[in-house]
Amino acid sequence: MSPAATVRAGVPGSRRPTAPGDGDPAGVGHALGRMLRRAAPALIGYLTVRLLGLLVLSRWAHVRGQGIWPTLATSWDSRWYLEIADHGYDDTLGTRVNDNNLAFFPLYPVLVKAVAGVTPGSRATVGLLLAVGFSLLAAWGIFAVGDRLYGRRVGILLTVLWGVMPVAMVEWMGYTESLFTALAAWALYAVLAGRWLWAGSLATLAGLTRPTGIALAAAVSVAALLACRGGRGGRGAALAGALIAPVGWLAYVAWVGLRLGRVDGYFAVQKLWLNKWDGGASTLRQLRQLLLYMTRPQLFLVIVSMVLIVSVGLYLLCVAERQPVALLVFTGVLLLVVLGSGGVYFPRARFLLPGFPLLMPVARVLARARRTAVVGVLLGAATLWSAWLGAYMLLVWKGPP
């Protein structure tokens, strides 16, 4: 099997990984510096599109007489994470719908509490700054994955595309999407580079961040087990990575069960949030109702519906392009969880935000375009649309993003 083929399979090939980690600390620092310089155009592009989104939001909020800080730092799910950082978790199940904070995974509020304890400023401010910082780490990781697989141009375009997704404003809110995407991107990069212990450890942290951490755990474990079966070197590390990957998610689910005194405690909490597996029946009903029967559906819900439909189409393209198995498993399980759950409908575009590999076919098409001006126009239009929709989502839409 050629090195290119093994990379596509999610198994490291014979070429030396570019990830830092070998040698003395000075060597690691130099390697990180080279990686950061190579990623600089992608990070600049990402910052540009997100700052434009923030500018549009600020102007729109000013016209409406609203402040953007409370909207970004303390609205909706942000309040739940801040409450956990302030007071901890509930210790009973209760019966009230949408009222048990055990549904929210612990890593982000733990980080907010820890950093706020040693820095000035409120926990809300710390949470928002952490989210912005994690978004930059996520952008760097997304570039690294795209660059490793298809070259620097694709990596840059992939990063910018992630920054102009319809609900990309959430990346700069006090939510967990940026942290989870950063962990997912670098875990997938570690898989491609054959760094199995890094991949497993990052997947464990992702499993402590969001329920969809199970998708990343599955991706790392499957790729690692395939590497073991392939009989290449490092089978011990690959097996260890496969075993480590789901530990975070399983540990939190087990802890909730112990806290509530029932084996199915976590799933009982999810039922109180109206989240249960129905194989996609609820999703199909919502799509049919919104797109076929409602005469004036709400714009944001139409956008969510289009994101779901386009995401399925992009996944089929990813399969056709034979993306590495780790990427396919990650986005496949992510789609399965998001589309197959019968919970609330409106946040599903946000739930898919970490699925950046779905954008790979678009980035590759843009990278092959002969006219740079055409690519610029398309990205510019996407940036303006994302900026407007982000402001609409936070200032006009009455529900959570």
- Of the candidate ranges 26-35, 106-115, 188-197, 207-216, the one whose mean pLDDT is the lowest: 26-35
The residue among 295 and 26 whose pLDDT is bigger is 295
Burial (CB < 10 A; 0-12, 13-18, 19+), residue 43, is middle
Distance CA 179, CA 371 (A): 35
**Residue 341 DSSP symbol:** B
Distance CA 78, CA 96 (A): 20
Residues written for the chain: 401
Distance CA 261, CA 120 (A): 38
Model confidence at 31, pLDDT cuts 50, 70, 90, reads: confident
pTM over 0.85: yes
- Of the candidate ranges 21-30, 42-51, 221-230, 326-335, the one whose mean pLDDT is the lowest: 21-30
Q: What is the mean pLDDT of residues 15-22?
A: 46
Report the candidate in 288, 290, 310 with the shortest Cα–Cα distance to residue 301: 290
Res. 273: pLDDT tops 60: yes
Q: What is the mean pLDDT of residues 98-109?
A: 97
Q: What share of the chain is helix, strand, coil (3-state, %, to 5)?
A: 70, 0, 25
Expressed in angstroms, the distance from the first to the final Cα of the chain is: 45
φ, ψ for residue 277 (rounded to 5)? -75, 130
Contacts of 354 (CB under 8 A, 6+ apart): 177, 180, 181, 184, 210, 212, 334
Q: Report percent pLDDT > 90 for the chain.
A: 87
The residue among 244 and 26 whose pLDDT is bigger is 244
Contacts of 171 (CB under 8 A, 6+ apart): 50, 131, 135, 138, 163, 177, 178, 181, 353
The helix-helix angle for 372-395 and 152-163 (nearest 10°) equals 30
Q: What is the pLDDT of residue 230?
A: 73
Chain centroid to Cα 133, Å, comes to 14
Res. 3: pLDDT tops 60: no
Res. 86: pLDDT tops 60: yes
Res. 233: pLDDT tops 80: no
Per the CB < 8 A criterion, the answer to whether 234 and 247 are in contact is no
Distance CA 141, CA 137 (A): 6
Per the CB < 8 A criterion, the answer to whether 353 and 181 are in contact is yes
Report the candidate in 45, 121, 111, 52 with the shortest Cα–Cα distance to residue 84: 111
- Of the candidate ranges 4-18, 269-283, 358-372, the one whose mean pLDDT is the lowest: 4-18
- Which helix (H) or strand (E) segment is 314 a member of? helix 299-320
